């Protein structure tokens, strides 16, 4: 049985069309897969940056709590208090070089408001490929309920004694976490209240 030449050409043409169609489908499937991989990697980097930001902020909270309790800095930061008093502070946390911390005066004592995104860096936290830059801004001092409100005036001013009722310092803790070679960035913040009892 003989096949004429017209039939042979049609088979070739239809197979080329099917091949082109399959190639087009595979191209779009590969592109969709690549997009999913990039989205997954970006989400993973964002989670790592968030974890770095939160870890740094919690470490800053521990440092601030221990500092207010001991009224000093750990020896590894150049202070006179033994490092054991700061046991909850991770070795991954370091204070930024420069002037003495201004956590009591804030960046501007007379400012009615502040810009959280432009605070001076006070500390750094680094773990593996993740890191965080940290800043502390003192918002205010308040007398505790039932206590002597003169605490706020005494602590903020030149007075050195605490009122009988005690008080609290309110801080804003700011942390910008970065992960995977700085490709992802997340900012977290928290209002921190430290109770000071006489």
pLDDT tens profile 39-89: 888 888 888 888 888 888 888 888 888 888 878 888 877 778 888 888 777
The span from the CA of 63 to the CA of 25, in Å, is 57
Which residues, given as ranges, of the chain have pLDDT below 50? 149, 151, 156-162
The span from the CA of 54 to the CA of 72, in Å, is 24
User: Residue 61: enclosing H or E segment and its boundaries?
Assistant: helix 5-70
Which two three-digit tokens encode residue 109?
């004592």
């Amino acid at each position: 049985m003989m096949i004429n030449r017209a039939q042979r050409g049609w088979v070739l043409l239809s197979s080329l069309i099917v091949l082109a169609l399959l190639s087009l489908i595979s191209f779009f499937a590969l592109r969709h897969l690549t997009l999913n991989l990039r989205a997954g990697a970006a989400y993973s980097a964002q989670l790592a940056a968030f974890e770095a930001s939160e870890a740094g902020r919690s470490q800053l909270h521990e440092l601030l709590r221990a500092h207010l309790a001991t009224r000093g800095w750990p020896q590894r930061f150049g202070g006179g208090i033994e490092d054991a008093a700061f046991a909850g502070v991770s070795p991954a946390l370091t204070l930024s070089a420069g002037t003495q911390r201004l956590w009591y005066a804030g960046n501007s004592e007379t400012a009615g408001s502040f810009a959280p995104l432009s605070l001076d860096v006070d500390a750094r936290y680094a773990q593996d490929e993740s890191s965080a830059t940290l800043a502390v801004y003192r918002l205010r001092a308040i007398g505790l309920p039932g206590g002597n409100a003169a605490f706020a005036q005494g602590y903020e001013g030149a007075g050195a004694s605490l009122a009988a009722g005690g008080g609290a310092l309110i801080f804003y803790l700011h942390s910008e976490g970065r992960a995977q070679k700085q490709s992802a960035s997340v900012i977290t913040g928290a209002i921190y209240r430290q109770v000071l009892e006489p």
